[in-house]
Amino acid sequence: MAYGKLEVYWPDGPIESHWLDKPTVGIGRSSGNDIVLDTNSVSRYHIVLTINGNKQPIQLQDLASVNGTYVDGKRIKPNETVNLQGGEEIMIGDLRLIYIPTVEDTQPQNRPETHTIRIATVQAPFNIELEPPPNPVRPGAHMSAQLTISNTSQEVERFFVEVEGVPQEWVRVERAELELDPGMQVPLTMTFKPLRRSDSRPGDYNVLVRVRAKSKPDQALQAMMVLHVLPYSGFGIVMGTPRVTKDAPFNFRIHNQGSAPLPLMLSGTSSNQSLAISFPYPSLSLAPGEDRLVQGFARPKRDRWVGPPRDIRFDVIAHSQDAAGFVAAVQGTFVERAVLPTWILPIVGVVGFVVVAACLAGLLFLVRPRTAKIDSFTVEPTTILRNVTQQITLRWRVQNAQRLSVQTEPVTLNTTNINVDLNQVTSLPLTIIVADVGSITLIATGEDGQPITQTRSLQTTSPQCSLLIQSDAYTGPGQNYPVRTTFKLNEVVAVDRRDASGNWIRVEGQNTWLPVNTLQCAAFTPNNLVLISSEQIPATPTPTIAPSPTFTPTATPTPSMTPSVTPTPSPIPSATPDPTAIPATPSTSPTFNG
């Protein structure tokens, strides 16, 4: 019995599924493995999965592979064993693997009330009842609808079932053709399973179910239902330039294997942090199915003057900025060459002696204090979302600086755990919140005590979301508020606040609120929106009760005894996931001393 399955995502798009039904499953390039992955980026025997008596979690062990193994973006040590609970993203070479336990192979759902559709006519010798799927379905999972056919004639009848409105490979009818005796009623199950591919468009599909009787094919009965398909995320990354030298760019490809736009943030790291990894565009967004060539640069933080060439391993890490939060990494090699060849050492010794003598003679001329100089100062990205907690990167090159500081106006700034090397090209991540137009100023103070500044303005834009379904908008964060307007499917709205529950988002400039689970916000996470203050939330409407009737004596009194009560509707429960947000401790002027 299988205890789970392993989905393998290849860089060029294909997806493989392998059932795990052995206590030990070997994975690698060699034919001696249980799962063979024929690509040069995978070692002959790369990893092994083991399970103890069908009990979760299973264990993954790296078999001292050449390119290493990454679990959720973290590289594990050779021969190290880690536990897998399910849903982890595993990177081996240029392949992305997802482990799915058996209990997660189908999407768990709480079955709400559904409306059964009953279709019958006088002419047709039968009737049908259709119960639509109770919940949305995500690609790779499945959801069922039930069709009941009743033979109301006095004869044995053969029926044919047809389904239209979705790709045929998504739907499976339990019995597309069946024969019923007179008065017989049979329920049929129709299973819908959208393929886990980038062209599985999310949204609502109008599904038409048609049933024909063989004796009267022109008197078909048909019923319409809506199948709501959710988006899914996934991507792969592969290095195109495995060996790179100084001042030469390296290329790698990123493939959005999901069905929704994919925002990404790029970063890099190297052994002993000896390299500076940079990207012309560290943040980017890929359309569904898009495969993009991306460029980066690797440079040593300090030049090595003499010695033979040596290899330095570095990793390029891509972190998705959507709710899934997937992390993928790919490895490259930087070939570091010394500034001077080894044969020049004797000459360097002589020249060095002369230089030292000259330096000692000229020290008297170098005692005067020097003024700081800012060679460059940039802020990435150049456009910031208003009222959203987000990360920016400051980069600078300075000379003769004794002290650096950053000032913001009027930006909420968090500079926790900042480590800066002065007089070097420096990359500094900051978490900020911008309400409107803002600016960031770099201040460098030299030996002479004179501050030198450079200021960069922050261009801002409103965060936007699109409607996953048609939805009413309310005057406050809850369905107990009056409905102000209605937004259509796929309509794009600008937003500026969220409520404390995280279930409601305010539409910018309209003072109306929408449920989070009706929106898709591709460029940011809803929980990173600024929290609205309690004073800005409209008062909750209260039930109104008509006053007691007043009796006025007349010739024929007719008192009114019906009080009017306006109930308050209950709020809709939200199932929006709460992705990890970046904590922010405001600090408007961090200072770094050299």
Letter string b/e over residues 540-565, b meaning 16 or more CB atoms within 10 A of that residue's CB: eeeeeeeeeeeeeeeeeeeeeeeeee
55 is in which domain, residue-wise?
A: 4-104
> Of 208, 229, 250, which residue constitutes the final position of a domain?
229
In sequence order, what are the residues at sequence separation of 6 or more whose Cβ sits closer than 8 angstroms to the Cβ of residue 119? 127, 128, 129, 130, 221, 222, 223
**Tens of pLDDT, residues 217-275:** 888 999 999 999 988 777 888 899 889 988 889 999 999 988 889 999 999 998 888 89
Judge whether 515 lies within some domain: yes
Residue 528 DSSP SS3? helix
Q: Is residue 381 part of a domain?
A: yes
CATH code assigned at 267: 2.60.40.10
Q: How far apart are CA 443 and CA 460, in angstroms?
A: 23
Q: End-to-end alpha-carbon separation of the chain, Å? A: 63
Task: Please give the pLDDT value at position 118.
Answer: 58
Helix (H) or strand (E) holding 250: strand 250-256
Contact 555, 496 (CB under 8 A): no
| Whether residues 223 and 124 fall in one domain | yes
Residue that has been written with the tokens 């409107």 in this structure? 436
Asked if 155 and 203 sit in the same domain, the reply is yes
Q: Which of 588, 195, 559 is nearest to 413 (CA)?
A: 588
Q: What is the pLDDT of residue 55?
A: 63
Decide if 574 contacts 498 (C-beta within 8 A).
Answer: no
DSSP letter at 371 equals P
User: In whole angstroms, what is the distance from residue 476 CA to residue 57 CA?
Assistant: 44
Domains: count for the chain: 5
Evaluate whether 538 touches 544 at the Cβ level (below 8 Å). no
Residue 540 is assigned to a structural domain of this protein = no
Question: Rounded to an integer, what distance in angstroms lies between the CA atom of residue 478 and that of residue 485?
Answer: 14
Predicted TM-score (pTM) of the model is: 0.40
What CATH number did the domain enclosing 486 receive?
Answer: 2.30.30.40
With respect to residue 479, please indicate whether it lies within any of the assigned structural domains.
Answer: yes
357-378 burial, b at 16+ Cβ within 10 Å, e below that, comes to: eeeeeeeeeeeeeeebebeebe
SS3 395: strand
Give the per-residue pLDDT at 446. 86
Q: Mean pLDDT of residues grouped by 10 in the chain (594 residues)?
A: 81 78 92 90 94 77 92 88 84 86 47 53 80 85 88 93 94 90 92 87 94 89 92 85 88 90 92 89 92 93 82 91 79 86 70 78 68 88 88 86 80 54 64 81 86 89 94 94 94 94 93 94 91 87 55 44 39 38 40 46
The residue from 522, 540, 566 where one domain ends is 522
pLDDT digits (tens, 9 = 90+) for 326-363: 788 888 999 988 877 666 667 767 777 788 877 776 67
Q: Give yes or no: residues 180 and 272 share one domain.
A: no
The pLDDT, as a whole number, for residue 11 is: 75
